[in-house]
Amino acid sequence: EAEVAQSPRYKITEKSQAVAFWCDPISGHATLYWYRQILGQGPELLVQFQDESVVDDSQLPKDRFSAERLKGVDSTLKIQPAELGDSAMYLCASSLAPQGRNSPLHFGNGTRLTVT
């Protein structure tokens, strides 16, 4: 079964440093999401892409976070500078359905970020 690939699986960085996460969605999935999950809580949406365009980034802290999906396939999420409160699991998900169509999101296994 096709999967959403994410790397790295774990990342430890010092505060004020830059960090980047990569995601390769399921082939053919036009919609891609980045979620952040704090331990013990449900995932929270950061940004949604439809192909290469940002659909919603209202919850993305744009002073330090950026996301791109230049060719409409894989995506990168960057944090610069990292802060202690950014320690969390960063999950990528993809969906076959375009914006506005209800369908399941398929998640990768995430990148666990620890900021020291």
Partner 1 sequence: GESVGLHLPTLSVQEGDNSIINCAYSNSASDYFIWYKQESGKGPQFIIDIRSNMDKRQGQRVTVLLNKTVKHLSLQIAATQPGDSAVYFCAENIRNAGNMLTFGGGTRLMVKP
Binding site for partner 1 (CB under 8 A): 4, 31, 33, 40-45, 48, 55-56, 91, 93, 95, 97-110, 112
Shortest spacing between CB 106 and partner 1, in angstroms: 7
DSSP string, 28-65: T--EEEEEEE-TTS--EEEEEEETTEEEE-TTS-TTTE
Angle ∠(29,31,32) on CA atoms, nearest 5? 100
- Specify the residue, 16 or 62, whose C-beta has the smaller distance to partner 1: 62
- Specify the residue, 4 or 79, whose C-beta has the smaller distance to partner 1: 4
Shortest spacing between CB 55 and partner 1, in angstroms: 6
Q: 45 CB contacts (<8 Å, ≥6 apart)?
A: 33, 34, 35, 56, 59
Shortest spacing between CB 86 and partner 1, in angstroms: 18
